Structure 1
Amino acid sequence: MAGLIVRKDIDLVRERSDLKGIVEEYVTLRSAGVGSFKGLCPFHDERTPSFHVRPGVGTYHCFGCGEHGDVISFLMEMEHTSFTETVERLASRAGVELHYEDGQGPDRAEVGRRQRLLEANKIADEYFRAQLATPEAQTARDFLTGRGFTQEHAVQFSLGYAPQGWSHLLEHLRSQGFRDDELLRASGLFSEGQRGLYDRFRGRLLWPIRDMTGATIGFGARKLDDDDPGPKYLNTPETALYKKSQVLYGIDLAKRAIAKERQLVLVEGYTDVMAAHLSGVGTAVATCGTAFGADHIKVARRLITDDGTGGEVIFTFDGDEAGQKAALKAFDEDHRFLAKTFVAVEPSGMDPCDLRMAKGEEAVRALIASRRPLFEFAIRAGLKDHDLDTVEGRAGALRHAAPIVAGIKDSVLRPGYERELAGWLGMDPNAVHRAVAQAGRGAGRGEQRPDPVGRPAQDERPAAPRPSIVVPVDPRDPTARRERESLEVVLQHPTLLSAEQWTALYQARFTIPQYAAVHHAVKVAGSSGATPSRWVDAVRDAVPEEVAGTVSELAVRDLPARTAEDVDRYCRDIMNRLFALQIVHRKEELLGQLQRLGPEGDHDEFLRINGELMELEAKRRALRAD
């Protein structure tokens, strides 16, 4: 078994890894000042961005949930990998050669399970793509041609073919050094029968399913032969890599367009994603054999930066009964979005793939442009269940529709839809308005509505004990503010401090317990010779565990400075204010000593205190003049 990775290599990996670039594979980041970026936290659901990243100090911190750390901890949390696996992955990405304490690198058989599974899926992906060009795959190529896709399109979307037979892929992976036990355990590529392992996918057209980093984590397979007894579509089963409730097909292709346009279009199938992208709708994705649920919504919200300032989610469904049920299921989850939600249904019931074949790519774009609010679709769909020619039917329809209209987020749209509803029902607008208002009051009075971001009710949340060293801080307390601001400067811009400022900082006395702990850790990290690239990590390592979050928070807080010159000036001013405050406190102590001496006190002590007071006053004036 390999030994521990030597510390200097770990530090080098941190230094050479692009924290911002890696975070942006999961979170849409926007500028938040000089050297600072922020976005929706990937670790919890939130309405407004509170996740801050400072690449210059290699640190992230969420002011909402408190998650914090460096590039290694971020990737460990996002990918659920061990420390060693994560460092090895980053090292490979950054071109860093790792060394181990026993002088050996990791043996292939001992590489982390997740990395082995990713490698198996990658090799399978390459194998299937090569098979699509073989004579046996003519049926698969004909299927694609029949749906308007060319060979170039197949390459663009990395399509493949699983040949007939029971062990083609199995033998190929065995030849690459994979053991049967690891392939069966969690890869999802094989099944087990009385005679042992056999290929799960046989005689099928395959789409690779990838995560946001572009890593292949599973496959979707379409049968081509009517004699195939299996389902029309066969997906990878649940594995350590593939969780269908969290996976969106096409997310690796669409993520940048989704983030840029703040739009996500949900279609129903793999060919629909292809048709949408080829038609210019680059924000299209699809679920993989399951309904669009809460975990999918978390992914969508992060990508569109769902903070209430815009963004839209468009659902496309077939026009049949199943499509209508899917739309209403999506409406049940609408409350989880701050963005506007829409539905686009082609009148004749065609999906994007059929529509592209029948009417061309412009028709697909027109379908998305014809979207209508999801709540309107839900209202109209519900009205069909009532006989509007009877008083009882209209009353029932109003009871169905009033809560939906009351829940419309846009207060400008709501009155308009009250009037629309009155027209659809043939009822007095005032009566409809009263019903909507009553439905709104009922929801606010007693009916427990789900939290907009899916958090449990307050009484369901476990109460976290407050760490004893981290005490509440009054934001109006000037001492606390000076201590906090100075630590922000020291952590974010340590190279801007002069030798004199470092000396004065070391001698300063901090009074807020958590800030005092950070101040002590700064002195420890400074005396240990921590380099700028490891500065924040060294400070974080030197504080008690409950204060580590405070270090990360101070390291990413926005400074009120817009340019590099502003940063220099701000840092100098903040440190001068801290030292001035320290001088004031020291003068107060000395004046107290003088008062206690009294007129009959020690004359030499009186002169010493007076001399120190004069020196302190001179320093204070010099700081003000700086």
Structure 2
Amino acid sequence: MAGRINDEDIALVRERARIDDVVSSHVTLKPAGGGSLKGLCPFHDEKTPSFQVTPARGFYYCFGCGEGGDSITFLQKVSNLSFTESVQQLADRTGVQLRISDDGGPRHEPGLRVRIMEANSAASEFYSRQLLAPGALAARQMLDGRGFDRAAAEHFGVGYAPRGGRDLKNHLNRLGFKDAELVKAGLIREHGHDFFQGRVLWPIRDSGSAVLGFGARKLFDDDRMPAKYLNTPETPVYKKSHVLYGLDLARRQIGKKSQAVVVEGYTDVMAAHLSGVDTAVASCGTAFGDDHARMLQRLMGNQGAFSGEVIFTFDGDQAGQNAALKVFSGDQNFIAQTYVAIEPSGLDPCDLRLQQGEAAVRELVGRRVPLYRFVMENTLKGYDLDRVDGRLQALRAAAPLISSIRDTSLVNGYLRELASMLGMDVDEVRSEVTRAARRKANEKSEPRHRTPVVDEPVEPQSQPAQGLPWPDPADRALGVERGTLKLMLQHPTLFDTAWDGVQPDDFTHPAYRAVFESILRVPWQPDRWADKVQEATTDEVARQLEIALLVEPVLRMPDEAYATSYAARVQLLRIDRDIKDLKSRLQRTNPVDQASEHKQMFSALLELEVRRKQLQLVSLGAPD
């Protein structure tokens, strides 16, 4: 969908799409007290529920992996949708007519996404039934020749597109679908003929098992489309850079095992799953790209700097090596370790299962090697290592690879491996790698030159681009700051319009301070105030922290006195810090030589002490 969705319509979608209704389609929720619901997190593997939904505020948050947001965010992440796609899907579900500002791009009428998904589902059922028809003999023979029986075809939803030309169109017309809808779904062409004819088909589903499109394999020599494989064209629901075949079957196992195996084709996915490699997926009609990488990383979760693994299976030929190099160039999109699994015989997982059995497919994945090592070995193959100049050139080509390794604990090992491959001294190799890293750092630090603009306003950046540090919720030293913000976000009307005198300097942790600064930017209003605070928050960590604070329970049912005591307590801690600092300065100030300065500081100290006593009285209601 092009254009910008009207803000009021987005707000209406949030209001109508109840968070508990949206989440309960994917998670079993049970009452957790205080109006909250709990369940097992769909974004990471866990045995004890830490995923909490607060319907009254419209937010969810997982205290295990840190994922949180509203109904739009949840659908985005659980179904791998963009923000716009998620809004559209919820709008279709709740009957909201979206108004979209025109930016010159294509426009999609309200409800089109739902109709396309319904048409795709009906088409998938039609194709599956056709696989059993007499005309699908060639399709069944092809599947049988690849080692897939009827049960396997049904498990993966494999189907067959008849050769009649309009069989699917006529069937869907009878079900009430219009030709214009089917054209936009990529199911028929403008002139009315079926898009797929005489081909084996695989339904491509999202993580929620909704059919987004199809992949089709050529069967007959007289097929008018010369391409062996043909995919659904880009539609409002199908974007090849955002889909992975097999994701519906592999999603939970990817999260549970923190592993993803990326193969090259539909039959490879089938062979892998049937062999016990249940984390296998494949890109559809395009090379594996950055968007695919980010999708898998979301499914595995960001639970550690190098948690989990992504394993690619490539052919052993030059094309496979080139594919590995392309993946390596985008490897920084992964937090997980990246590996390559290549069968020495050159067989893909489907042929490997067919010729050597299912155990061989599992062994292929088990023999994986780090992507860096694979790329490094293939880099060295291009040089004559019997010559001194050849070894030096190879070292210079391989050094940037090692310098880009994120896990520094592996660097020394790779240095020794490279030195051994080249027959060179490890210190010489280390020096070249260090120089490569320095050159890379210098390239990053060089300023980008551009034509200056006279009197161009500079947007101040109050927070670092990489985001704020995440505060430990169990840190008792920060407990008052956290408790105060929870009350402000969940029960803002318990404070006066000046937040009972609380100031940004009262917060010592930068993330807590950022949250309070966002609160200050948004005057309280009875409608969607928490949403407005979210919109006013520019730092992603602070935004996620706000969600956590919105769903985290307070110690008891609050009232105005309880909120006032918390506000006093957080100010009292800052006063204590100021008094400590001022006393330290007084001790370093000579009362004779610096009499005026000493007198001013002493007077300020007395004022702080008076203020501290006042705050102590007010703060008696706040818990320790």
Alignment TM-score, normalising by the size of structure 1: 0.70
Structure 1 distance, partners of 2:434, 2:571, is 59
Q: Which amino acid in the other structure matches residue 298 of structure 2?
A: R
Structure 1 distance, partners of 2:623, 2:359, is 68
User: Which of 382, 397, 401 lines up with 1:385 in the alignment?
Assistant: 382
With 343-352 and 18-27 compared, the bigger mean Cα shift is at 18-27
State the identity %.
Answer: 42
Give the alignment of 1:117-196 within 5 angstroms.
117-184=116-183, 186-192=184-190, 196=191
With 298-307 and 125-134 compared, the bigger mean Cα shift is at 298-307
Provide, for residues 422-445 of structure 1, a one-character-per-residue CA deviation record: whole Å limited to 9, x for no partner.
222222333222222222222223
Give the alignment of 1:417-432 within 5 angstroms.
417-432=414-429
With 348-357 and 396-405 compared, the bigger mean Cα shift is at 396-405
Which residue of structure 2 aligns with residue 369 of structure 1? 366
- Structure 2 gaps, min length 5: 1-7, 28-38, 98-107, 463-467, 472-477, 505-514, 575-610
Q: Which amino acid in the other structure matches residue 14 of structure 1?
A: R
Aligned residues: 519
Provide, for residues 176-202 of structure 1, a one-character-per-residue CA deviation record: whole Å limited to 9, x for no partner.
222223322x2112223xxx2211111
**Aligned partners of 1:166 and 1:199 also within 8 Å:** yes
Give the alignment of 1:124-523 within 5 angstroms.
124-184=123-183, 186-192=184-190, 196-229=191-224, 230-306=226-302, 307-446=304-443, 465=459, 485-489=483-487, 491-492=489-490, 509-510=500-501, 512=503
Q: Report the Cα offset of residue 326 of structure 1.
A: 0.9
Structure 2 distance, partners of 1:580, 1:355, is 67
**Aligned partners of 1:328 and 1:378 also within 8 Å:** yes
Q: Which amino acid in the other structure matches residue 146 of structure 1?
A: G
Instruction: Name the CA shift for 1:58/1:35 in 2 (closer, same or farther; >3 Å).
Output: farther
Q: Report the Cα offset of residue 157 of structure 1.
A: 0.4
**Aligned partners of 1:59 and 1:555 also within 8 Å:** no
**Aligned partners of 1:406 and 1:437 also within 8 Å:** yes
Partner of 2:339, secondary structure, is: strand
- Corresponding position: 1:578 with 2:567: yes
Instruction: Name the CA shift for 1:293/1:420 in 2 (closer, same or farther; >3 Å).
Output: same
Q: Which amino acid in the other structure matches residue 576 of structure 1?
A: S
Partner of 2:160, secondary structure, is: strand
Q: Which amino acid in the other structure matches residue 578 of structure 1?
A: A
Q: Report the Cα offset of residue 464 of structure 1.
A: 8.9
Partner of 2:236, secondary structure, is: coil
**Aligned partners of 1:128 and 1:161 also within 8 Å:** yes
Instruction: Name the CA shift for 1:219/1:448 in 2 (closer, same or farther; >3 Å).
Output: farther
Which residue of structure 2 aligns with residue 539 of structure 1? 529
Partner of 1:80, secondary structure, is: helix
Partner of 1:412, secondary structure, is: helix
Structure 1 distance, partners of 2:319, 2:382, is 16
Provide, for residues 149-178 of structure 1, a one-character-per-residue CA deviation record: whole Å limited to 9, x for no partner.
111111110111000121111111222222
Task: Between the two structures, name the one with larger relative contact order (CA 8 Å, sep ≥ 6).
Answer: 1
Structure 1 distance, partners of 2:573, 2:336, is 51
- Structure 1 gaps, min length 5: 38-52, 92-97, 101-108, 450-455, 526-536, 586-612
User: Which of 555, 570, 574 lines up with 1:567 in the alignment?
Assistant: 555
Instruction: Name the CA shift for 1:371/1:459 in 2 (closer, same or farther; >3 Å).
Output: farther
Q: Report the Cα offset of residue 369 of structure 1.
A: 0.6
**Aligned partners of 1:508 and 1:582 also within 8 Å:** no
Structure 1 distance, partners of 2:399, 2:518, is 56
Partner of 2:193, secondary structure, is: strand
Q: Report the Cα offset of residue 512 of structure 1.
A: 4.9
Structure 1 distance, partners of 2:494, 2:329, is 61
Q: Report the Cα offset of residue 491 of structure 1.
A: 3.8
- Corresponding position: 1:59 with 2:50: no
Q: Report the Cα offset of residue 293 of structure 1.
A: 1.0
Q: Which amino acid in the other structure matches residue 243 of structure 2?
A: V
Q: Which amino acid in the other structure matches residue 21 of structure 2?
A: S
With 197-206 and 435-444 compared, the bigger mean Cα shift is at 435-444
Structure 1 distance, partners of 2:534, 2:387, is 71
Instruction: Name the CA shift for 1:146/1:9 in 2 (closer, same or farther; >3 Å).
Output: closer
Instruction: Name the CA shift for 1:36/1:258 in 2 (closer, same or farther; >3 Å).
Output: closer
Provide, for residues 220-255 of structure 1, a one-character-per-residue CA deviation record: whole Å limited to 9, x for no partner.
101112332421111111222111112111111111
Q: Which amino acid in the other structure matches residue 113 of structure 1?
A: L
Q: Which amino acid in the other structure matches residue 43 of structure 2?
A: T
Instruction: Name the CA shift for 1:519/1:363 in 2 (closer, same or farther; >3 Å).
Output: same
Q: Report the Cα offset of residue 446 of structure 1.
A: 2.9
Instruction: Name the CA shift for 1:152/1:79 in 2 (closer, same or farther; >3 Å).
Output: farther
Q: Report the Cα offset of residue 288 of structure 1.
A: 1.0
Q: Which amino acid in the other structure matches residue 221 of structure 1?
A: A
RMSD: 4.8
Q: Which amino acid in the other structure matches residue 509 of structure 1?
A: D
Partner of 1:366, secondary structure, is: helix
**Aligned partners of 2:418 and 2:429 also within 8 Å:** yes
Structure 1 distance, partners of 2:212, 2:437, is 44
Instruction: Name the CA shift for 1:429/1:265 in 2 (closer, same or farther; >3 Å).
Output: same
Partner of 1:446, secondary structure, is: helix
Structure 2 distance, partners of 1:552, 1:416, is 40
Instruction: Name the CA shift for 1:264/1:554 in 2 (closer, same or farther; >3 Å).
Output: closer
Which residue of structure 1 aligns with residue 547 of structure 2? 556
**Aligned partners of 2:45 and 2:256 also within 8 Å:** no
Q: Which amino acid in the other structure matches residue 70 of structure 2?
A: D
- Corresponding position: 1:17 with 2:21: yes
Provide, for residues 282-325 of structure 1, a one-character-per-residue CA deviation record: whole Å limited to 9, x for no partner.
11100112111111111011112245141111110111221121
Alignment TM-score, normalising by the size of structure 2: 0.70
